[in-house]
Structure 1
Amino acid sequence: MLLGVLPIPFLFGVKIDVEVSSDDPGFRGSWFVGTVIRREAKNPNRYVVEYDQLYEDESGEKLLQETLDSIQLRPPPPPPEKKKKVQFKFGDEVEAFHSDGWWEGAITAEHSGGKFAMFFRGSKEQIVFKEKDLRLPVQWVKGKPSKVAKRESSSEPKADSNCPKEVMKFTQGMQVEVTTDDDGFKGAWFAATIIEPSGEDEYLIEYKTLTNDDDTEFLREYIRACNIRPCPPEIIVVDGFKVMDEVDAYYNEGWWVGVIAKDSKV
């Protein structure tokens, strides 16, 4: 479930400000600001919403309107308390204002001048933001904003039922390969270097082929130990490969698991 997605739909009136989520490819984990135009008479769980910063076409003359399910809507988060300034830190789950909306991600590095690098899991991008463009997510309980969503400590990785209780230990500087269960990347292994351990079975790694959004540095990410393996030794294949062999193929900056379906002559 995305941070902030509500288990119980809200009821909204006309001209009420809202934030809108989307499950469309490329937009998952984002929230866009809009205003309720009307509630459908035939289906009270659907609303017509006009976006504040999204337009129908590139001319930018008419704001985009969409009919949405109530579960896709939430109230904007309450303004931050003036006396309590949020101190962002490495590993925080945050939302960043980017491309006209608020996008969910995690802080992966702190830079000078009040800037933070943020990693988006869906797009595998890492972008640097100013502190003013970040906010902590809000959890909604029974229609009311609760305290700021609990920050996930890097020493307390998310539970993963697919991870065995006993996993291999890695050391700083070790060359490894990393996999992920994210959509579009299942079955792929990417070369990386162990930067440092983070907790009992989690490591900060730096990819050797994947870079951040502006290609200025290699991407860093926290990975569970069960999703890391040592680089395999170089093996000379004497008899070559044959149909139905299960192999890894180097493609799109990584090694992808597959099966040889056809023996084709190049």
Structure 2
Amino acid sequence: MDPNDYFVKGAEVEISSDEEGFRGSWFLGTIVRSPTFHNRTITADNKVLVQYKTIFVDEVSGNLLQEYLNLVQLRPPAPRELDRKFHLSEEVDACHNDGWWEGVITEVLDGDRYSVFFRATREQIEFEKSNLRLHREWKNGKWYPPLEDKPKEVVKEEKFIKGMLVEVSSDEEGFEGAWFVATVAELLEDGKFIIEYKSLRNEDDTEFLREEVTKESHIRPCPPDVAVERFNLNQEVDALHNDGWWVGIISKVLDDGTYIVYFLETGENIAFKHLDLRIHQEWINGKWTISSQIGGLKEA
């Protein structure tokens, strides 16, 4: 993989640190400002502005930490096999203290639990399988060892029908990352649709706005309801704001049941009640998946 093609603004990355106490760990982040390449040549002086997803500047402001780092400290998020079983002496990464830390399986326990030894800190901690992944190295644009082969899954194509309730996204500036509830009004050729929004109205405010969208990138079914008693710090959520659902991160949990949500696109922190939030889900290959706090995905 050519870094020119991947390390661009908005790309998700994993970030390493040379600071004492953090060696052997990787933290999830997003590129805010990509490096400048000269004749497609990378040097150690290439600086990239990144924003962490789980590390904050302080506990008061709720702002996520941003840093200028060398390109060699970044890599794409490591792949993982969610249903994999681990073995004695196998090198793994464990989700711990807001990041992924390199360790070794020292004991296989009952109930899909494993004991992991961390050489850097000389600690041994028990983990559930869901908080582990096989340790991999990123070399010359490839992962070693490569992702284990699995039989290709047959993806059931979603059929959108007239009258169906859907969610629609927009590429317009200021609306990136938001999804708006709509109804399929007409079916067109070549995978296109006429949809009618449930909350957006036309310029004359005489009727709900209608728009033509394409199936490939702008329309999806409404996500299933996921009951949540309480949202957690750093959890990825959708917030009902300005007539749509906007993806953000819980940056503060208040005692009165209110949550402060941080929005990456705008840099804003806004307060929401529990009923105005939902678990963030992604529509991938015809299935809904739920984002974990560290970037793993589990089937909804």
In terms of fraction of residues, the more strand-rich structure is 2
User: What is the TM-score of this pair, normalised by structure 1?
Assistant: 0.49
User: What is the TM-score of this pair, normalised by structure 2?
Assistant: 0.44
